[in-house]
Amino acid sequence: MRLRLVTGNTHKLQEYGRILSGLGCMLPLDQLDADSVEECGVTYYQNAYKKAFLGMHSVPAALADDSIVLADDSGLELSLFENMPGVRSARFRYADLSEKPALSAFLSEHRVSATPARFICWIVAFLPGSGHCIACSGSVSGIVALESRGFQGFGYDPLFTPDGYSLTFSEMDSCLKDRISHRARAVQALWCALQKTLPLRP
């Protein structure tokens, strides 16, 4: 049995590998390219489902019975601004900037130095050879600040400090982030569901 993650983000692939290893998962993890998938859904679930569905159909028939194909979509939501950038987090644009620099410019323009926020992740996994899927989610609340801190992680990690901590995700040791992040919580839920559903063997 193999896990096949549909993503074009090598940082995400590495993060999945660390999280799954921390959970005691010994299944091999492969990458299925997602560069050609347009994330046009209005929810995280829709985008994750679309990527996982297309990934499932790209697996050769001879490998389908041994492949768990999964994909996720995640986003950062600012409650003060109607949960933007939300599902468009990876495609957020402002002042001719994108993603993290765009959000910093947005907060600066609105004279906001820090604001409540939460990260959300939805994962959809198609089970081997069945066409059935499992969906799990995870979230973490915290604060988004105007200034970036730290050099680890990716995306909005340098701006986000989870509740109960003084470090941003980018300042944290990866072992800590991989226990408390939105993606970690979604992966934990998925791994529990898979263990209950399938006779998993390394």
Question: What sections of 79-161 are H helices per DSSP?
Answer: 99-109
Could you say which of 73, 163, 173, 178 is catalytic? 73
Which has the closest alpha carbon to 139: 123, 115, 159, 155?
123
Q: How far apart are CA 62 and CA 82, in angstroms?
A: 46
Catalytic, 73? Answer: yes
Torsion of CA 156, 148, 139, 152, to 10 degrees: 80
| Structural contact between residues 134 and 192, judged by C-beta atoms closer than 8 angstroms | no
Distance separating alpha carbons of residues 107 and 185, to the nearest angstrom: 28
How many other CB atoms are there within 10 angstroms of residue 135's CB atom? Answer: 17
Euclidean distance between CA atoms 151 and 45, whole angstroms = 29
Q: Active-site residues: which are they? A: 73
